[in-house]
Amino acid sequence: MRYPPEITRRLRSTPEQMRAAWVDGSPPPPQPIVLVPYDPRWPELFDEQAETIRRALAGRALTIEHVGSTAVPSLAAKPIIDIDLIVTDSGDEPAYVPDLERAGYRLVLREPHWHEYRVLTRAAPAVNLHVFGPNAPEHLRHMIFRDRLRNHPEDRDLYRAVKQALAVSTAGSPGEYNLSKNTVIDEIYGRAFGLDDA
């Protein structure tokens, strides 16, 4: 299957855009990267949070998906549940943010220039809630990457090995961890998109 360029091309925010995106004016202090073995309770935690979000939004959640490493059986991960939430207009914060805040979430990031992306978090259980509008390319990329790892153990194992090595090598500068994963992520996306066959 061939994907359109808006899906296959990685878009990166500029440093200035990233600095401006933090709702509180600056990113939270970096935390050490702690990877743990896959926990079979993670899908249950996702289901519980998905139900909390559905109740909070009363029909305004178009799609709620478990994404990220905790959505891939047998993959070590940071114990934070990543959830993609699709709403009619992610830029219309009054339509959903206050209700999610009442449900225990906190808005931490907004990137109007990047698919009107928003991030809300909660601490217990630890969740990153990624909010997009319908057909946002980055949400589709999340789904493609998750499904590639679920269905291709060799890519899952490669990703796990690289993450574990980086958790050690970037321990002194945890902010580098996500940036350092980009090479292997792009490699896996290349296979998922069929670019290796081009």
Q: What is the DSSP string of 93-156?
A: GGGTHHHHHHTT-EEEEEETTTTTEEEEEETTTTEEEEEE-TT-HHHHHHHHHHHHHHH-HHHH
Of 5, 2, 7, the C-alpha closest to 135 is: 7
Q: pLDDT band at residue 148, thresholds of 50, 70 and 90?
A: very high
Backbone angles phi, psi at 58, to 5 degrees: 45, 55
Residue 153 has pLDDT above 70, yes or no: yes
The two tokens of residue 57 are: 């939004």
Residue 37 has pLDDT above 80, yes or no: yes
The reported pTM is 0.94
| DSSP-derived pairing of the beta strands 81-86 and 106-111 | unpaired
Reduced to 3 states (helix: H, G, I; strand: E, B; else coil), residue 77 is strand
